[in-house]
Amino acid sequence: MTEPITLAVARMKTMPWAIYRVRRLYYAPANAARSVDSVLLGGHRTVHTALTELSRLVDVPLTKNEEIAGAPARDGDRDTHRRLWLRRRSDGTYPTQEEFYAVAPAQALDKELDSFADAWADHTDEALARLERRVDTAIAVVQQTLVEGQGRSNAA
């Protein structure tokens, strides 16, 4: 690795990171309403470990981008960040939804259109709604575990 890349990697590991919930409601190819929410903030290792724990708690395996059909590749390099997929979009069927959780530097702002929540709810079937509730519960468990862990380390 070159020195600038080494420095960038070192900096990224020390900056705040987040787990993001990403939802997209596609009305046609390349025409989607989007929602991005940060659900957990912490250090690099903490949020990666937390995503793994969420996966375990809801019994949904993490998937690397390289394992996703049609994932983009640039110069032979593929995104190796893992995602917790709740729903993958169906190509050729519209409207269609996709929803996943991913880890990234805590730089993105939470955002969604005012009408997104209602549109999402209108297209969400009971199976996805149940899985979303399970993930919400798992996030609360992981957050509580992190808080308790910080309390123990501060008391020591």
- pLDDT per residue over 79-96, tens digit each? 567 899 999 998 889 999
Peptide bond into 95 cis (omega under 30): yes
Nearest to 54 by CA among 116, 137, 126: 137
Confidence of residue 156 (pLDDT cuts 50, 70, 90): low
Global pTM reads 0.84
Instruction: Report the distance separating Cα 38 and Cα 107, nearest Å.
Output: 10
